[in-house]
Amino acid sequence: MSSCGGYGVFSGGATRTDAWVWNVATGVFTQVDHNEDDIYCAGHAGLAEQRPFVAGGQRDNGGGTGGAGYGISDSNLFDFNVIGTGNEWISRAVMANRRWYRSTFRRLRNAFGWSIPSCTPASRIGGDSGYRAS
C-alpha cells in the first residue's frame, strides 16, 4: 500500500488490475481499477505532490510492455487529488528494465526516485533504473 495525504492506494484481487483508494479520515474505499497494467507486486511510493507512483507489476495477464517474463517496465501515477471526479491512472515513462515481485521504489529528496529490483533472476527483471517525478 502507498500512502499519500490521508489516502492509501493498494492493489490485488481476482484480476490483479483491481485497485482501491482508501480515505483514511472517512474509512471509505473507492475502487479505481487499472485497465491496462497488472500492478500486483509492483514497487510503489508516495511522491512529493501527494500522488502514488507505481513502478512495474506482474505480466500474468499479458498486458504491459517489456517482452517476456514476469515483470513489466511500465510506470504509473495515480491522481486522486479530486476524489470522486478525478480518479485516474496516468502512464509515465517506460523504465529501462522490468520490475516485479519484491521490487521497491523509494522517493528521494531531490524529486528523483529509485527503483530497486527484487532478487528474482535478471532474465525476469533486469537492472536498476531511476525515475524523475517532474
Go through 2-39 and write b for each residue having 16 or more CB atoms within 10 A of its CB, e for each that does not.
Answer: bbbeebbbbbbeeebbbbbbbeeeeeeeeebbbebbbb
User: Per-residue pLDDT tens for 30-56?
Assistant: 788 777 787 777 777 777 666 778 888
**Taking the model in full, what pTM does it have?**
0.64
Q: What is the pLDDT of residue 23?
A: 74
Please state, in angstroms and rounded to a whole number, the distance separating the CA atoms of residues 105 and 115. 4
Q: What is the CATH number of domain 2-132?
A: 2.120.10.80
Task: Judge contact between 112 and 131, C-beta under 8 A.
Answer: yes
Please state, in angstroms and rounded to a whole number, the distance separating the CA atoms of residues 30 and 84. 9
pLDDT at 1 over 80: no
Grid cell, residue 65, equals: 510492455
**Domain ranges across the chain:** 2-132
